[in-house]
Amino acid sequence: MSHKDKIAVITGAGGTLCSEIAVELAKEGAKVVLVGRTKEKLDIVAEKIAGDGGSAMVYACDVTNSSAISKLAEAVEKEFGLCDCLINGAGGNNTKAMPTITKLDKREITGELPGDIKGLYDIDLDAFRNVLDINIMGTVIPTMEFAKQMIKKGGGSVVNFASMNSYCPLTRCFAYAMSKAAVSNLTQSFAAYYAPGNVRINAIAPGFMVNERSKNYLGTVEDGLTARGEAVINHTPAGRFGEAHDLVGCVKWLTDEAASGFVTGITVPVDGGFLTLGGV
């Protein structure tokens, strides 16, 4: 078990995707630090890990807060020791930062759009900034803090969460796409910078995964798809949405020094083939 006794810090660990990653790493013997905004969600994951005989520490904080992340790092070192791997899974989108239309309607310039339609000029720019903050700075700040521990330890691995939006922005997702493209670029530049410290920085780019948020705007294959969900499935050769377990193997590989020790600065699509189709 390649992760036995490794110390893995996972942000966004209360969510559908990263909670599964945390549980699976713990099964391999990793000491897992569950980080997120909501302690109650993290406690559920910790209970699952404990039930499987694993070891987990819960720490609720805001990953965009430098002071909070510094305190987290101190707590991790005190409880478990120096970090071996960091998974930057915290992030998300905000519907307030999204228009409801996919292209300009000139009426939005004069404020004449009907009340049930929201254009780009009607979005909440504070929400837009918050999306950039959680996805970009929520990756930068934990990486900088825990890379210090990895350097002290002789090396380590960081896995960031990029997206299909990193390659080509989806309609309406301006802030989210912009921030995930930044994560992919940051992965490359940080990989080059931290290489002398034997800290590898890579990313995964999940395709369209099943979680509570996706069910609301994509639907499900079993219960019926929205128009957007239908478009996604038609563009995915695998013919389905991804599940959390589809990410686990890639994360394990990227955080295993023996398996991927010469791999740094890459973003790996885990997308069911979504990027293979041009749409025509």
Rounded CA separation 225/221 (Å): 6
Give the per-residue pLDDT at 1: 59
Do 176 and 219 have their domain in common? Answer: no
DSSP state of 244: T
Count up the domains in the chain and report the number. 2
- Threshold 0.85, pTM exceeds: yes
Instruction: Assess whether 16 and 48 both reside in one domain.
Output: yes
The answer to whether residues 82 and 141 belong to one domain is yes
In a domain, 116, yes or no: no
SS3 190: helix
Instruction: For residue 196, give every residue at least 6 positions away whose Cβ sits within 8 Å of its Cβ, in sequence order, or none.
Output: none
pLDDT for the residue 225 = 84
Q: In this structure, is residue 57 part of a structural domain?
A: yes
Shared-domain flag, residues 229 and 196: no
DSSP 224: E
Assigned domain for 148 exists: yes
Is 163 found in the same domain as 71? Answer: yes
Q: Check: CB of residue 205 under 8 Å from CB of residue 165.
A: no
Question: Nearest CA to 136 among 88, 170, 94, 171?
Answer: 88
Same domain (yes/no): 71, 138: yes
CATH number, residue 11: 3.40.50.720
Q: Both 236 and 150 in a single domain?
A: no
Return the structure tokens found at 127: 């929400």
List, for the chain, all residue ranges whose pLDDT scores fall below the cut of 50: none
Alpha helices in the chain (DSSP H): 16-27, 39-51, 66-79, 125-132, 138-153, 174-194, 212-218, 227-234, 245-254, 257-260
Catalytic residues: 176
Cα 263 from Cα 5, distance rounded (Å): 22
Q: What residues does 268 pair with on adjacent strands?
A: 204
Whether 109 is in a domain gets the answer: no
Q: Is residue 71 part of a domain?
A: yes
Same domain, 255 and 232: no
Cα Dmax for the chain: 62
Other Cβ atoms less than 10 A from the Cβ of 81: the count is 14
Q: Are 233 and 142 in the same domain? A: no
Same structural domain, 39 and 137: yes
Domain that holds residue 249: 7-93+129-207+243-271
One domain for residues 163 and 221: no
Q: How many angstroms separate the Cα of 147 from the Cα of each of 4, 125, 258? A: 20, 32, 19
Same-domain status, 180 and 231: no
What CA–CA distances, in Å, run from 105 to 36, 68, 128, 134, 223?
39, 43, 20, 30, 33
Q: Tell me if 249 is assigned to some domain.
A: yes
